């Protein structure tokens, strides 16, 4: 009785779900007008009823797959009822799992609707089932592929995929305690690909649990042949007192893959170079100015001509004090200096000497300090270029 009620409940749920899907297909989401199965847009409000969100094709209401890109439209009809900005912000239908599910539905439709390319669609469908971790469905899909196309050039790869799918399927049975079904899947996996060491290991384990130690040892040897040097398998074989061929004790060397192109070598790290000492900024030395000099009493030394300045007026009838000598002219440095004021002075002989600076010039001799002049003899002047005559005595 309870089983009958459960079946009736499932039928009611299925009927309600089918009715909801039918309503979504035939009812305009904008004006709630019932549409015909051949309509593309609503006859009342012009709303597009069955638009593909992948390529934008406007399909009739009855289409479950896009007529252009073969994408399933059932999910798209639900997504189109959600605002586009909300759908984009939440990235609805863009997860990897959702994309794989749509691709799987698309391939299921293409396998039946395009028999000419069935071989391609079967292969792609089995690969997607493997990506989605549907081990049982993947194994069935590979078996179907090999049954229809036994001479396919992809047969070795397909057998390897089939073996791994069967091994995963057998492990699911083993987790549920169904060891007989698990053993069947493990043995099928080992037959599909004898180099599947994991499949042979599971066969050996189930034989060991069943106290079939001879069969377990044989299976462990098969596993070691597929994976030489595996320490776990070697330990089990030693526990079973089985002789191990010496060539299986060493791991098989994997041949290097052929180079696909020049391998970029890392650039050598340069040795640290000490930072150079900072170069002082060049100091602009003034160009040697033409020097106007007059011959001096001693040979080889030239004394610069005094600048042409107005001579001070002589004081009337008052001789200069004998104790106070006249200020001596400062001695000229060893290198003749320029006297710009004497350039172009009329009436005075001019000699222009331009000598190159020596490679290592000697420092000039310091000039002799001038003798002190009594402050009352040379009165202060506000203008340094103006020469003021001393005031006559008694005034």
Largest alpha-carbon pair distance within the chain? 159
Homologous superfamily assigned to 96-193: Tetratricopeptide repeat domain (1.25.40.10)
For the stretch 124-153, pLDDT in tens is 999 999 999 999 999 999 999 999 999 999
Q: What is the pLDDT of residue 24?
A: 58
Q: What is the pLDDT of residue 159?
A: 96
Q: What is the pLDDT of residue 280?
A: 55
For the stretch 329-343, pLDDT in tens is 445 444 444 444 444
For the stretch 256-308, pLDDT in tens is 555 544 544 544 545 555 555 555 555 555 544 444 444 344 444 444 444 45
Q: What is the pLDDT of residue 264?
A: 46
Q: Which residues of 183-214 are buried (b: 16+ CB within 10 A; e: fewer)?
A: bebbbbbbebbeebbbbbbbbbbbbbeeeeee
What string of DSSP letters covers 270-316?
PPPPPPPPPPPPPP-PPPPPP-BEEE-SSTT-EEEPPP--PPPPPPS
Nearest to 187 by CA among 214, 215, 227, 213: 215
The residue that leads in pLDDT, 147 or 54, is 147
- How far out from the chain centre does Cα 89 lie? 26
Delimit the domains of the chain by residue range: 40-94, 96-193, 196-251
Alpha-helical regions (H) of the chain: 2-26, 74-79, 84-90, 96-113, 118-131, 135-148, 155-175, 179-192, 197-209, 213-226, 231-239
- Tell me the C-alpha distance between 183 and 167, whole Å: 10
Phi, psi angles (nearest 5°) of residue 300: 85, -10
User: Tokens for 119?
Assistant: 């071989």
Average pLDDT over residues 185-203: 97
The residue that leads in pLDDT, 24 or 269, is 24
Q: What is the pLDDT of residue 144?
A: 96
Average pLDDT over residues 308-317: 49
Q: What is the pTM of this model?
A: 0.55
Q: What is the pLDDT of residue 34?
A: 85
């Amino acid at each position: 009785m309870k089983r009958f009620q459960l079946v009736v409940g499932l039928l009611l749920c299925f009927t309600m779900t089918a009715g909801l899907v039918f309503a979504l297909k035939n009812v305009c989401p904008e004006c709630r007008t019932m549409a015909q199965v051949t309509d593309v847009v609503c006859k009342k409000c012009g709303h597009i009823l069955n638009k593909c969100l992948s390529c934008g094709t406007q399909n009739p209401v009855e289409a479950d797959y896009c007529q252009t890109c073969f994408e399933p439209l059932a999910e798209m009809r639900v997504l189109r009822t959600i605002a586009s900005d909300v759908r984009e912000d939440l990235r609805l239908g863009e997860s990897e799992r959702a994309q794989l599910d749509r691709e799987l539905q698309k391939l299921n439709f293409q396998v039946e609707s395009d028999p000419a390319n069935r071989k391609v669609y079967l292969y792609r469908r089995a690969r997607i089932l493997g990506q989605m971790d549907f081990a049982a469905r993947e194994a069935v899909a590979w078996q179907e592929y090999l049954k229809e196309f036994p001479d396919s050039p992809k047969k070795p790869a397909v057998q390897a995929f089939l073996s791994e799918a069967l091994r995963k399927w057998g492990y699911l049975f083993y987790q549920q305690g169904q060891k007989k079904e698990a053993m069947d899947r493990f043995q099928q996996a080992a037959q599909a690909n004898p180099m599947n060491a994991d499949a042979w290991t599971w066969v050996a384990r189930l034989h060991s649990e069943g106290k079939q130690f001879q069969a377990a040892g044989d299976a462990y040897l098969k596993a070691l042949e597929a994976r030489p040097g595996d320490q776990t398998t070697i330990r089990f074989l030693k526990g079973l007192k089985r002789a191990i061929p010496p060539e299986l004790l060493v791991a098989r060397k994997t041949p290097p893959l052929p180079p696909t192109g020049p391998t970029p070598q890392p650039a050598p790290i340069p040795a640290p170079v000490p930072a150079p000492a900072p170069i002082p900024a060049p100091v602009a030395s003034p160009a040697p100015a033409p020097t106007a000099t007059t011959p001096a009493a001693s040979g080889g030394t030239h004394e610069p001509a005094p600048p042409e300045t107005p001579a001070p007026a002589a004081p009337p009838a008052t001789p200069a004090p004998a104790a106070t000598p006249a200020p001596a002219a400062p001695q000229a440095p060893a290198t003749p200096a320029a006297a710009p004021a004497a350039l172009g002075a009329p009436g005075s002989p001019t000699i222009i000497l331009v000598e190159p600076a020596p490679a290592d010039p000697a420092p000039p001799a310091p000039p002799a300090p001038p003798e002190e002049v009594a402050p009352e003899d040379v009165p202060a002047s506000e203008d340094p270029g103006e020469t003021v005559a001393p005031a006559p005595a008694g005034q």
